Chain A
Amino acid sequence: MVTSNVELPGLNCGLCGFRTCEEFRSQLASSPESVRRCIHLSENRIQQDAPAAQPTLAVQAESCSTGCGSCSGGQTIARPQMKGQLPWKDSLGRDFDFYLEHFPEEPGPREIIIPHNPIITRELDVQVGDILIGRPLGMSCGCPITHCGVATQVDMRTGVIVWCVTGPLGPRAKGFKDLGYYIAEGYEGLVKNTRSELRVGMRYYFQPHMCMLQWRHSGLLNYLNRTGDQWQVRLEGLWIG
């Protein structure tokens, strides 16, 4: 047990939060455990005694059913419900034409991507079911966030991969293959809420519903098929903004 009789270094460095060692000694009298604040007393002992930087987890992997299929849960994703008046504004206040939802039976939004060096697909031996990470660098489509996903189709000849984008828990728990940079070539998904008439060949602003940044994207609509009360679409030539 450390007491206020401990011999302080006398450096008066202030790193303990007190201007002088004497001020610190006064604190020690009522709070002996504060001795950890002095980094000079015993570097290694304090190191061992110091509280470890333990994260306070808001989400525990064990209790999380992400639906991405890559961790313990395995449930399918429930699509976020949009109630009331839709804002039709992205997080930067810009208008868009429709929300892009992902297919409910898939673990996340479907993207068609190609690594910046397509040979990577072969070199990493990417297979259906593999967990991948990478960032969509450049004009297509320039998002600053590293993405994670599960491969659903792989074309070894062209390097093109179709994946479903998921959260980071799967890669964290199960490992991954790192694509480095990739190009997002196209999105496929569902449109349930639109305020514009959809026509093949037109370029639209849209809001991918699961986009972390909630930035609008734009893309050329080159596939459109009505399924019940929603439209199945494919968008290529993607840009952010």
Chain B
Amino acid sequence: MTARIYLDNAATTPPDPRVIEAAQPFLTRVWGNPSSLHQEGREAREAVDVARRQVAELIGARREEIVFTGSGTEADNMAIQGVALAAGDRPCHVVVSAIEHPAVLECCRALEQRGVAVELLPVNAEGIVDPADLERSLRPETRLVSVMAANNVLGTLQPVAELAGIARRRGVLFHTDAVQAAGKTPINVQSQQIDLLSLSAHKLHGPKGIGALYVRDGVKLPPLVPGGGQEGGRRSGTENVAAIVAFGRAAEIARLEMASEAARLVRIRDFIIDSLSQAIDNSYLIGHRFRRLPGHICLGFEGMEGEAIKLLLALDEAGVAVSSGSACSSNHAGQPSHVLQAIGFNPIKARGSLRITLGRFNTMAEAERLMEVLPPIVRSLRPMHGMMRHDKRTSAAV
């Protein structure tokens, strides 16, 4: 039986054995509460502090500027809601890109119900925000700009430093959801002038259920979860020590191996992109050719957008896990992808794309295997289109 090939690393990543090894003692031997003053507590506290430093180093922050959360979504909410809450009764205007993750967009929609003015920044055909658009959108009452560092659907990287610089010059806080980008591209919150930044461990071969928010020293952010005052009073609740330790180790590995790993993934990514363009003549790459995450490929198949779900299922049956990268699933079929619509796809086209995302444990041999499996599957969907082209027959879905 052929081993399965996991190519959906933007959804989640397999835990690195080194991460599991680091966390193991904190599920068995070291079980103290980090807030306790005795030895068991101090041991746990020390481990949390080490992990906090490891996470901080990944993004060029200081240890005290990291707040552990339960997820990247919680970090996004803490940043955006926190800024709005800090505004109190004063007018509040928030600017976000149109292709943000729902963790940001839904949070903003909730804020709109409470009177916050939210403005969506457009993106170009490759999913990139024009800094001039941000400059124009800012008002005296703008309190926050939030633009994700890398998009989860497209893989496109934003000019974060340029956008954050504009916000800084205008006295506006800048938040970036770096859940997809962290550990894969260099991030330095100091040189890039980022005030708030969201992270998630399970996107970089750590465990689920643990994230973090970087809060630049001096930024006022009221607590969303009041209680015992953990995490500098910003997020109460006894720390998930094992997950935090695992997150720290995952961040450390990602930082140390980033350059060589990125170069390796780019080679595999480009092999797949180049091979696909030769093997499947109606395939097209969505997003920027180079300005994208090292292991991220978002594909469309012209005229077959409605069949993305079948591609996904057929690949799954062939032992390859990918994602539809859009809302073309049973749960969301009524909603075209807001990301694909934002880059100019019509609602039909925005219902289907294929997302192939590579991670640390993928190999070139797996990419070659993908290229053996995928073209015949795409061709098997083609008779209807072949009929259109050659036999003047039509395609239809029944």
A-B complex is real: yes
Residues in A lying within 8 Å of B, measured CB to CB: 11-20, 36-37, 39, 43-44, 46-47, 50-59, 63-68, 73, 75, 77-80, 100, 102, 107-109, 111, 133-135, 137, 142-148, 165-169, 171-172, 176, 178, 180-181, 187, 208-213
Q: Which residues of A contact B330 (CB under 8 A)?
A: 142, 144
Which among B294, B329, B333, B392 is the interface contact of A14 at CB below 8 angstroms? B294
Task: Give the residue name and chain of the B residue nearest to A39 (CB).
Answer: B291
Say which size band chain B's interface belongs to.
35 or more
- Interface membership of B185, Cβ < 8 A: yes
Shortest beta-carbon distance, A103 to chain B, in Å? 12
Closest 9 CB pairs of A and B: A14-B262, A58-B282, A55-B284, A208-B398, A14-B263, A167-B395, A17-B266, A14-B259, A210-B396
A53 near B186: Cβ-Cβ < 8 Å: no
A168 near B309: Cβ-Cβ < 8 Å: no
Complex-state Cα separation, A209 to B260, whole angstroms: 51
B392 near A54: Cβ-Cβ < 8 Å: no
Q: Which residues of B contact A166 (CB under 8 A)?
A: 394-396
- Interface membership of B316, Cβ < 8 A: no
Besides the known contacts A47-B291, A148-B348, 15 further A-B residue pairs in the complex with CB atoms under 8 A apart: A13-B186, A13-B258, A13-B262, A14-B264, A16-B263, A50-B288, A67-B394, A77-B394, A78-B392, A135-B333, A144-B333, A145-B306, A146-B328, A167-B397, A168-B348
Q: Which residues of B contact A135 (CB under 8 A)?
A: 333-334
- Interface membership of B305, Cβ < 8 A: yes
Contact with A along B381-396 (1 / 0, CB 8 A): 1111101110111111
Shortest beta-carbon distance, B357 to chain A, in Å? 15
Contact with A along B333-359 (1 / 0, CB 8 A): 110000000000011110100000000
Which among A17, A47, A65, A111 is the interface contact of B128 at CB below 8 angstroms? A47
- Interface membership of B362, Cβ < 8 A: no
Which among A79, A100, A107, A171 is the interface contact of B348 at CB below 8 angstroms? A171
Q: Which residues of B contact A44 (CB under 8 A)?
A: 131, 159
Q: Which residues of B contact A12 (CB under 8 A)?
A: 259
Which among B284, B328, B351 is the interface contact of A54 at CB below 8 angstroms? B284
Shortest beta-carbon distance, B385 to chain A, in Å? 5
Known contacts A17-B263, A108-B394; is-contact A52 B333 (Cβ 8 Å): no
Which among B348, B388, B398 is the interface contact of A165 at CB below 8 angstroms? B398
Complex-state Cα separation, A52 to B285, whole angstroms: 9
Interchain Cβ contacts under 8 Å between A and B, 17 examples: A15-B290, A16-B263, A16-B290, A46-B290, A51-B289, A53-B287, A57-B282, A57-B302, A67-B394, A80-B383, A147-B306, A166-B395, A167-B388, A167-B397, A178-B347, A211-B397, A212-B397
Shortest beta-carbon distance, B29 to chain A, in Å? 37
Contact with A along B16-42 (1 / 0, CB 8 A): 000000000000000000000000000
A144 near B329: Cβ-Cβ < 8 Å: yes
B396 near A172: Cβ-Cβ < 8 Å: no
- Interface membership of B277, Cβ < 8 A: yes
Complex-state Cα separation, A64 to B351, whole angstroms: 22
Q: Which residues of A contact B351 (CB under 8 A)?
A: 146
- Interface membership of B267, Cβ < 8 A: yes
A19 near B394: Cβ-Cβ < 8 Å: no
A58 near B125: Cβ-Cβ < 8 Å: no
B290 near A109: Cβ-Cβ < 8 Å: no
Shortest beta-carbon distance, B299 to chain A, in Å? 10
Shortest beta-carbon distance, A135 to chain B, in Å? 4
Known contacts A52-B125, A56-B281; is-contact A14 B258 (Cβ 8 Å): yes
B392 near A172: Cβ-Cβ < 8 Å: no
- Interface membership of B240, Cβ < 8 A: no
Of B162, B382, B389, the most chain A CB neighbours within 10 A belong to: B389
A59 near B303: Cβ-Cβ < 8 Å: yes
Contact with A along B227-270 (1 / 0, CB 8 A): 00000000000000000000000000000001111111011001
Q: Which residues of B contact A47 (CB under 8 A)?
A: 124, 126, 128, 288, 291
Q: Which residues of B contact A13 (CB under 8 A)?
A: 185-186, 258-259, 262
Complex-state Cα separation, A167 to B289, whole angstroms: 29
- Interface membership of B310, Cβ < 8 A: yes
Complex-state Cα separation, A58 to B282, whole angstroms: 5
Of B277, B287, B393, the most chain A CB neighbours within 10 A belong to: B393
Of B303, B307, B391, the most chain A CB neighbours within 10 A belong to: B303
Known contacts A50-B291, A212-B381; is-contact A144 B309 (Cβ 8 Å): yes
B281 near A17: Cβ-Cβ < 8 Å: no
A55 near B263: Cβ-Cβ < 8 Å: no
Q: Which residues of B contact A209 (CB under 8 A)?
A: 398
Of A39, A63, A147, the most chain B CB neighbours within 10 A belong to: A39
